[in-house]
Amino acid sequence: KMKLAVLTGGGDCPGLNGAVKWVTKSAMDSWLSSKRSINFEVIGVTEGWRGLVDVNPEDPKSLEKYIRPLDEETVRTWDRYGGTNLGTSRTNPFNPKNDRSEILLDNIKKLGVDVVVAIGGEDTLGAAYRLHKLGVKTVGIPKTIDNDLMGTDYSLGFDTAVNVIMEEIDRLRTTAGSHSRIFVVETMGRHAGWLALHGGECSGAYIILIPEYPFNLDEVAHLLQERKGREIRYAIIVVAEGAKVAGRDEFIQSGKMDEFGHVALGGIAKYVAEEIEARTSFETRHLTLSHLQRGGTPSAHDRLMARWYGIAAVDMIINEDFGRMASLQRGEITSAPLKECIGKLKLVDIEKNYDKDRYNGRRSIIG
């Protein structure tokens, strides 16, 4: 019997439960595989890596808290629900400030775990890679609403989050239009602008501000003035939480920006809205979508991808492709070495990501 432990780590998002369901189901169905059949036992670890570190395998109470036996019946309806039924944490057992990797290894041994399926973003999968290097069989499944993981075109949660942005902006438009107001909408995305970019593009935002392209407030104000001049009553500006203002030094000195170039003091949407009002005297409101973007039920695309990734992860185990992450590359499900998925992030590159001719020069991004 092969004991498979599955866990979800880092920020939650819709699609995680579906991935756990399909890992469990595919393990139970492994006799369907053309390669070989493995007799799997599946356990779900609660609270991500913290569960595997904090569990006391000798204490039945602790086992009940951190380890959940999973079978087809338990996970049957999971794919319909957002969040993660297993719970999650940002605990990284390899954190140099509090290295708990020895306890982790010891617990894996004591629990009789043969293979770990880690579902997470760069941090969770970084720990999975370290574990693999220490000789534990490990595979990964990508998730992050930021969609900034290397090695895959798609990470679970992104599509649902883009849909939330689109729906909320649809709602804002009626009130923005009625009052002839400017609305600044802040999306998540500390480092990468994918959410703001796709969310803003599909909802027709006039201006999109992303971390990769520092922006100039005078230019934003100028574009808004020009738009009002064309008798357009309102405008939507989408700004990623990590967007940076150009002219860093001046801003750092004024105390309005931190050393990373991020606008401090109450969030970037508020800051941009205030600066627009000061420059244009257009009535401007702001809204931070925050964790709404990680809530709710998974979109059709996230359910589909969760299913494909779950099946792929078990196929990887059957094929003994350890130390790798299920991935989507040019529309095909494949896998990538964990090593290549961590350490740096996949950022927006307008020149590379947008074909100039096809896109007809119509960019709403400024920077």
Binding residues (CB under 6 A) for ligand F6P: these are 11, 121, 144-146, 188-190, 241, 294
Judged by CB, which is closer to ligand F6P: 137, or 191? 191
Q: Under the phi-then-psi rule, with left for phi > 0, alpha for psi from -120 to 50, and beta for the rest, what region is 220?
A: alpha
- Tell the smallest beta-carbon distance from residue 59 to ligand F6P (Å): 29
Alpha helices for 180-299 (secondary structure H): 194-202, 217-229, 248-254, 268-280
Judged by CB, which is closer to ligand F6P: 212, or 241? 241
Both tokens of 57, joined, read: 């395998």
Integer Cα distance of 127 and 93 in angstroms:
7
CA 248 vs CA 216, 245, 254, 260, 367: distances in Å: 10, 7, 10, 9, 13
- Tell the smallest beta-carbon distance from residue 75 to ligand F6P (Å): 24
Both tokens of 22, joined, read: 């399909």
DSSP assignment of 12-65, as one string?
A: --TTHHHHHHHHHHHHHTGGG-SS----EEEEEETTHHHHHHH--TT-HHHHHH
Identify the CA nearest to 240 among candidates 283, 171, 202, 191: 191
Which residues, other chains included, contact 318 with Cβ-Cβ below 8 Å and sequence gap of 6+? 30, 33, 35, 36, 38
Tokens 């954190």 sit on residue:
95
For residues 208 and 365, is the Cβ–Cβ distance under 8 A? yes
Between β-strands 40-45 and 2-8, what pairing exists: parallel, antiparallel or unpaired? parallel
- Tell the smallest beta-carbon distance from residue 328 to ligand F6P (Å): 19
Judged by CB, which is closer to ligand F6P: 18, or 242? 242
Judged by CB, which is closer to ligand F6P: 145, or 348? 145
Integer Cα distance of 50 and 7 in angstroms:
10
Judged by CB, which is closer to ligand F6P: 36, or 190? 190
Task: Name the residues annotated as catalytic.
Answer: 146
Judged by CB, which is closer to ligand F6P: 120, or 310? 120
Integer Cα distance of 137 and 149 in angstroms:
21
- Tell the smallest beta-carbon distance from residue 12 to ligand F6P (Å): 8
Judged by CB, which is closer to ligand F6P: 43, or 269? 269
For residues 209 and 367, is the Cβ–Cβ distance under 8 A? yes
For residues 237 and 207, is the Cβ–Cβ distance under 8 A? yes
Q: What share of the chain is helix, strand, coil (3-state, %, to 5)?
A: 45, 20, 35
